[in-house]
Amino acid sequence: MEGLYAITLFSTWAQAVVLHGFRQADADALYDTFYLFCVLFCLKRTGGAFCLACLMAALCFLSKSWHTLTLIPPLVVTYFMTGRSLRLAMKGMFCGLAPVLLWLAARLSEDGSKFPLRMLTYDLLKRGSMAIEGHNSPALLYATDFVQSHPDLLWQLGLLTLAFLAACFWPSLRAACFRPGIPPAVKAEMLILGVTIVSVFGMFSAAQTRLFWYTFPAYPILCVLMTYLFALLGPVLKTLAGGIAAVFFVLSLSACLQRDRATVLPVFYTQLQGAAQLPIMRVQKDLLITQDDYAALLTYLPVAPEAIHIGADDHTPHTLVIRQKDAGACEGCALISRGDRFDLFYRD
C-alpha cells in the first residue's frame, strides 16, 4: 500500500512531466534523475551504496554543475551513519571526483581554463551573490511556489503533520492510530530525506539568482518522506490518508486534462518540432531562426501566438521578443537565450 501511495503522490506533482521536468530529455531531466538515485542510494547506508551515491552526485555535477552542492549535506550525514571509516571516505571521494576530473582534463585540453573559470566565477560566485540575467525573484520564491503550484502535496503534507502533532499530545490517539514506535533504521532514513529537502530549499533560497525549477529535485524526495510518514500510520488513518491522496490524484488529473484542452500552441509550433529533430534545418518565420533560438522557444512553449514577436521590438508586457544580435539589449526585457544570429528576450 505504501508503494501505491508513493506513486499517487508523485503523480499529483504535475511538474514532473512538463517544463524542466523528467520528460524534457534535457540537462534538468538528467540532473533530477541522478539526484533521486543519489538520495535513494544514501538510504541504503552501506559502503557500496554510499560509493554509488557519490557516483550519482558526480553525474549530477556533470549535468547541472554547482547545483550538486545541495547533495553535500545528505552525503555527509550518510557517511557518518554508515561507518565513518577513512577507507569509506576515500572510496566515496574517488567515485565522486573521478568522473569530474576526467571531464575536467578533457575540457582543459579542448579550450584551456576558460570554461572552468567561467563556471566558477559566473555560474557559482556571481549567480550566488547577485541576481543575473534578469532573474530578480524574491527570497520566498520557493515557498510561495510550493503553496501556489503544488497545493495537492501541501495539503497532504499538512494533514500528515497535523496527525503526528496530535499523536504527540494525545497518547491514546497515538496508541490507537499509529504503529508502535519508530525503528532506528527508519529514523535514520527519514533524517537523510529531511536534510536533503532542507538543503535544496535552503541553499537555493540563500542564492540571489532564483528560478522556480531549481528546487524540483526536492519534490520526489518529499514524496518519499511523506510515504515514510504514511507507513507509520495505523490501518484507520492509513485508509483515510490513502483516500485523500486518491481524491487529490483525480482532481489533479482532471485539471491537467482541462489545461491541455485549453492550450493554444503557436501556429509554427509543428515547424519548431520538426526542426528540433534535424539540427541542420532552420525554421522559416519571417526571419531565419537558428537552433539555439528555437530551442529556447521550445523551452518556453506553450504561449499564445500573439505573445511572440519576430524581429521588430514590441513594448507589450508578457511578450517574447526575438531581436537581431547587432540590435543590442532589449530595454525592460530579460535575456532568455543568445543565438548566433538572434537573441531571445522576455518582457515581463
My answer on whether 205 and 313 are in the same domain is no
For residue 288, the model assigns a pLDDT of 44
Helix (H, G, I), strand (E, B) or coil at 279: coil
Query: Does residue 80 share a domain with residue 217?
Result: yes
Q: Supply the DSSP string of 138-184, one letter for each residue.
A: -TTHHHHHHHHH-HHHHHHHHHHHHHHHHHHH-HHHHHHHB-SS--H
User: Do residues 167 and 93 share a domain?
Assistant: yes
Q: What is the pLDDT of residues 295-335, one digit of tens each?
A: 555 554 444 555 555 555 556 666 667 777 667 667 777 77
- In whole angstroms, give the CA distance from residue 333 to residue 320: 9
Torsions phi, psi for 74 (to 5 deg) = -65, -35
Nearest Cα residue to 124 out of 77, 65, 178: 65
Residues 229/160, Cβ–Cβ less than 8 Å: yes
- Residue 129's CB: how many other CB atoms inside 10 A? 11
Shared-domain flag, residues 166 and 245: yes
Angle at 167 between CA 163 and CA 168, to 5 degrees: 120
Q: Do 135 and 275 sit in the same domain of this protein? A: no
How far apart (Å, rounded) are the C-alpha atoms in residues 82 and 49?
10
Same domain, 225 and 321: no
**Whether residues 100 and 8 fall in one domain:** yes
- Where does a domain end: 234, 261, 288? 261
- CA torsion angle 89 90 91 97 (round to 10): 100
Helix or strand (DSSP H, E) at 281: none
**Domain limits for position 337:** 269-347
| Of 261, 296, 316, the domain-final residue | 261
Cell 515581463 sits on residue: 348
Number of domains present in the structure of the chain? 2
CA 135 to chain centre: 17
d(CA 85, CA 244): 45
pLDDT digits (tens, 9 = 90+) for 223-233: 899 888 888 88
What is the reported pLDDT for 13?
A: 73
Same-domain check for residues 288 and 223: no
At 325, is the secondary structure helix, strand, or coil? helix
Per-residue confidence (pLDDT) for residue 200, from 0 to 100: 93
Sites in the chain below the pLDDT cut of 70: 14-25, 132-135, 176, 255-320, 325-326, 328-329, 336-342, 344, 346, 348
φ, ψ for residue 95 (rounded to 5)?
Answer: -65, -35
